[in-house]
Amino acid sequence: MSTTPRPPSVDTLARAMKAVDLPHAILVELAREAIAAGPDEWHTPAAVARAERYRQRLLAPVVNATGVLLHTNLGRAPYAFAHAEHAVNVEFDLTTGERGSRQAAVGGLFASLCGAEAAMVVNNNAAAVMLVLAALARDRQVLVSRGESVEIGGGFRVPDVMEQSGAHLVDVGTTNRTRLNDYSKAFTRKNADVALVLKVHPSNYRVEGFVEDTPVDQLATLPAPVVADIGSGLIDANTPWLGGPPPAWLAGEPAAKQTLGAGAKLITFSGDKLLGGPQSGIIAGDAALVAACMRHPLARALRPGAHVLLMLQQVAMSYLDRTAAQAIPFWRMVATTNQELRSRASAIIAAAGVGDTVDSDAIPGAGSAPGTTIASVAVRVRGDHLAALRHHGGTPIVARARDGFTYLDLRSVREDDDPLLAAALRACVS
């Protein structure tokens, strides 16, 4: 006689999990999985836990208390967006009543913003680089310094992008030192057919010591257009939207206006890093080269949708009217003073009944300004509470832990979320 208990019906178990906010069809699927897994998984608490794990894998707002302002795993630049349920004139010219260009409006704004003849938008910076190479250098050579033939997050490697675009990579110089003469010699080699000179922002690392690279103004003297992947999307090294001198941590970060001013024919950069907007990639510069990119078949595959274009339009307008310091969350985080952060930390600790205030080092994140830090303030609590904070009811909180303490860096936290931190810390301790 079998001693194996009889499993519940799928419907009964699915209904037992209904406290977890998921569609009934998903709960039925999870109930089937639980029953198939055996008796240890088909009783109600285990089944509910299974459903909860599923729910936590879905996309949802979180509080970023890591101190990484542009956290790639948390969506990089936070940006709020709301749009009424109306159609959008994405490819409709309201002045003529005929079909228009998807790139005209937002591309025109970014051209003005960067001091470029023209600009266009694709879905990320990797796509921007790929499109430029495919449109302008297919079956031809592109010069890249060995020190800039990099790999960044997600396995994105410059040589692989070259290969996929159909361009031929020509390494010049050495890993740590590349001079103008290294590029010049590549033009005199046998079978030289150089379409572009590509300068790549290292993004997520910094080489120091016995190093040398060739600046854009020198590269611009070569007999081929210079394309600069500036990566992080700093618009202007002078940061006029901040109403004061540029922050010290931005020193050395390439900027769109200055790179084009130095002679680059095209620049590419991300929209969700220092620009502070949605995931996107921007190509800006010479009008004829941008037009060639627009005509390439890949442009249709890489084009953004209406929501991204509307968000980028808002972002560009905020820079142009110099309200970016208030309108863009990333720059609000940067501009918050440590005195303000200390005051917030004290209020959180008083409400939570636990913790102390400590100095902290925040970082820009997402490969922006690699190796630099921004002075910050954190709430410190003894013990590792990372899991409890992530699973706290309501909005999950992502923090850091080291040396037996949990740290919640307030520079990356919206002030409106401070009560969530206090309630979560109070619950953790109790």
* Residues 252-280: tens digit of each pLDDT: 899 999 999 999 999 999 999 999 999 99
pLDDT(2) > 60:
no
C-alpha–C-alpha distance, residues 150 and 143, integer Å:
14
Cβ–Cβ under 8 Å, residues 97 and 89: no
pLDDT(206) > 70:
no
How does 115-131 read in b/e, with b if 16+ C-beta sit within 10 Å? Answer: bbbbbbbbbbbbbbbbb
403 by DSSP, 3-state: which?
coil
Tell me what pLDDT residue 52 has: 92
144 by DSSP, 3-state: which?
strand
Question: Is residue 398 very low, low, confident or very high in pLDDT (cuts 50, 70, 90)?
Answer: very high
Residues ≥6 apart with Cβ < 8 Å to 192: 141, 186
Partners of 398 in beta bridges = 64
Tell me what pLDDT residue 252 has: 87
C-alpha–C-alpha distance, residues 27 and 93, integer Å:
47
Burial of residue 334 (CB within 10 Å: 0-12, 13-18, 19+) is: buried
The H or E element containing residue 187 is helix 180-188
CA distances from 75 to 46, 63, 278 (A): 31, 12, 9
Tell me what pLDDT residue 49 has: 94
Task: Kindly state the percentage of the chain with pLDDT values over 90.
Answer: 80
Tell me what pLDDT residue 266 has: 98
**Which of 35-39, 321-325, 393-397, 421-425 bottoms out in mean pLDDT, i.e. has the lowest?**
393-397
SS percent in the chain: helix, strand, coil, step 5: 40, 20, 40
Average pLDDT over residues 322-347: 96
- Alpha carbon distance, N-terminus to C-terminus of the chain: 48
pLDDT per position as a tens digit, 93-118: 999 999 999 999 999 999 999 999 99
pLDDT(76) > 60:
yes
Domain boundaries, the chain: 10-57, 63-78+331-429, 92-327
Tell me what pLDDT residue 203 has: 66
pLDDT(3) > 70:
no
Computed on alpha carbons and rounded to an integer, the radius of gyration of the chain in Å comes to 26
pLDDT(430) > 70:
yes
C-alpha–C-alpha distance, residues 239 and 75, integer Å:
24
Burial of residue 209 (CB within 10 Å: 0-12, 13-18, 19+) is: exposed
Domain 63-78+331-429, CATH class in plain words: alpha beta
Average pLDDT over residues 179-203: 90
C-alpha–C-alpha distance, residues 86 and 212, integer Å:
53
149 by DSSP, 3-state: which?
coil
Question: Is residue 394 very low, low, confident or very high in pLDDT (cuts 50, 70, 90)?
Answer: confident
Task: Kindly state the percentage of the chain with pLDDT values over 70.
Answer: 96
Domain 92-327, CATH class in plain words: alpha beta
Tell me what pLDDT residue 1 has: 46
